[in-house]
Amino acid sequence: MCGRFDLHSETKVILREFRVDSFSTDYHPSYNIAPSRRIVIIKDDGKKHIVQCMWGFLPSWVKDPSMANKMINARAETVAEKPAFKDSFRHRRCLVVADGFFEWRRQGKRKMPVYVRLKSRSPIGFAGIYNTWTSPEGESICTCAIITTEANDLLEPIHDRMPAIIPKDGEDLWLDPHITEKERLMPLLRPYASEDMEMYDVSPLVNKPGYDSPEIIIPDKG
Tell me the catalytic residues: 2, 103
Rounded distance, CA 160 to CA 152, Å? 8
Residue 184: φ, ψ to 5°? -85, -25
State how far the Cα of 24 lies from the Cα of 27, in Å rounded to an integer: 9
Contacts of 149 (CB under 8 A, 6+ apart): 75, 76, 161, 162, 163, 164, 189, 190, 191
Q: How far is CA 67 from CA 84, 126, 136, 190, in A?
A: 12, 22, 14, 27
Give the end-to-end CA distance of the chain in Å, rounded to a whole number: 26
